[in-house]
């Protein structure tokens, strides 16, 4: 079901921006979301429109429950319905257990996990009303491998897989809920690491390169399309085969 409203959280840059553009090309009407990067959000809206799509932006910190309710309300006011939610907004920050402050731990959980719960809770009634819905949660390779420099990040992303399966059970049959676990993807989030050690990173990847954001957006597009209609509660790993090395 295209031509319905689609919220992509954290779409002021990176994977979120590529997803906004891709889903607009697929025919969805896009709500761009951000918490701080207003300029980035405006750029995403312009890019979607340049590709012939429809978009507007809403500032909302996904860890704030009231803000996510307003994000959904604004989308329904603008487009008349809401069919797709991509929980993409993410916070990452490098710190070992020794270095990690309690507030950083909490922020990782609040944005990456509770933020996805908040958005799904606000969006699900609208999808039920529509009789159709697709929720895609952006997890991470780190959900499976853990991380020696971001236990908050890995834990929040692993929690997201539990949330995915739980909501898939609760929201069936109208709404499918799936996760994607990207591996290394070239975005502002990974800019520093890739500048420092892209060669070392790609050595571990059978496909011999990191992903580009549109490749992750393409997997999201598949899950929300008719071709993804019989998949729910699943995680698709898009990591260039990194587990096999
Ligand atoms: N890049 C990778 O290699 C990789 C790998 C695995 C998984 N992922 C996941 O993929 C998703 C996108 O990552 P990315 O690499 O595109 O990251 P990015 O370039 O850092 O973009 C993150 C986006 O999230 C938004 N955001 C952050 N906190 C927010 C909040 N509290 N409320 C609303 N929006 C918020 C940011 O906008 P503001 O600055 O305005 O808040 C930005 O638009 C994340 O969930 C990330 O964990 C990425």
Is 184 catalytic? The answer is: no
Residue 86 in contact with ligand 1 by CB distance below 6 A: no
Task: Give all domains of the chain, ordered by start, each with its CATH number.
Answer: 5-244 (3.40.50.720)
The alpha carbon of 17 and the centre of ligand 1 are apart by a number of angstroms equal to 10
Per-residue pLDDT reduced to its tens digit, 22-70: 999 999 999 999 999 999 999 999 999 999 999 999 999 999 999 999 9
Residue 158 in contact with ligand 1 by CB distance below 6 A: no
Mutate to test the pocket of ligand 1, among 8, 33, 36, 90 (most ligand atoms within 8 A of CB): 90
Residue 63 in contact with ligand 1 by CB distance below 6 A: yes
| Confidence band of 2 (pLDDT split at 50, 70, 90) | confident
Going from the C-alpha of 201 to that of each of 60, 140, 172, 207, the distances in angstroms are 34, 16, 39, 11
Per-residue pLDDT reduced to its tens digit, 130-162: 999 999 999 999 999 999 999 999 999 999 999
pTM (2 decimals)?
0.98
DSSP-assigned states of every residue in 53-94: -EEEEEE--TT-HHHHHHHHHHHHHHHS---EEEE-------
Per-residue pLDDT reduced to its tens digit, 173-200: 999 999 999 999 999 999 999 999 999 9
Give the CA count within 13 Å in the CB-facing half-sphere of 16: 32
CA-to-CA distance for 13 and 34, rounded, in angstroms? 9
Spell out a b/e string for 194-217, using b for 16 or more CB atoms within 10 Å of the CB, else e. beeeeeebbebbeeeebbebebbb
Hey, is 104 helix, strand or coil?
Answer: helix
Q: How many CB atoms lie within 10 A of CB 72?
A: 25
- Of the listed 153, 184, 230, 243, which one is catalytic? 153
Question: Which residues on adjacent β-strands are paired with residue 32?
Answer: 8, 57
Residue 31 in contact with ligand 1 by CB distance below 6 A: no
Whether residue 243 is predicted with pLDDT greater than 90 in this model: the reply is: no
| Confidence band of 1 (pLDDT split at 50, 70, 90) | confident
């Amino acid at each position: 079901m295209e031509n319905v409203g689609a919220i992509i959280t954290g779409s002021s840059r990176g994977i979120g921006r590529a997803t906004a553009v891709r889903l607009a090309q697929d025919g969805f009407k896009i709500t761009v979301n951000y918490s701080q990067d207003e300029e980035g959000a405006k750029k995403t809206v312009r890019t979607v429109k340049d590709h012939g799509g429809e978009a507007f932006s809403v500032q909302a910190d996904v860890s704030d429950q009231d803000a996510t309710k307003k994000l959904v309300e604004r989308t329904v006011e603008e487009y008349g319905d809401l069919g797709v939610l991509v929980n993409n907004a993410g916070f990452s920050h490098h710190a070992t257990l020794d270095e990690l402050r309690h507030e950083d731990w909490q922020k990782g959980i609040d944005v990456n996990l509770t933020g996805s719960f908040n958005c799904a809770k606000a969006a699900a009634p609208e999808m039920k009303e529509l009789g159709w819905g697709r929720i895609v949660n952006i997890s991470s390779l780190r959900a499976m491998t853990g991380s020696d420099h971001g236990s908050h990040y890995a834990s929040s992303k692993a929690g997201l897989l539990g949330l995915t399966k739980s909501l898939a059970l609760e929201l069936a049959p109208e709404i499918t809920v799936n996760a994607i676990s990207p591996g290394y993807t070239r975005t502002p989030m990974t800019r520093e690491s890739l500048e420092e050690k892209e060669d070392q990173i790609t050595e571990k990847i059978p496909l011999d390169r990191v992903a580009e954001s549109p490749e992750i957006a393409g997997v999201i597009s598949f899950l929300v399309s008719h071709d993804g209609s019989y998949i729910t509660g699943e995680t698709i790993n898009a990591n260039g085969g990194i587990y096999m090395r």
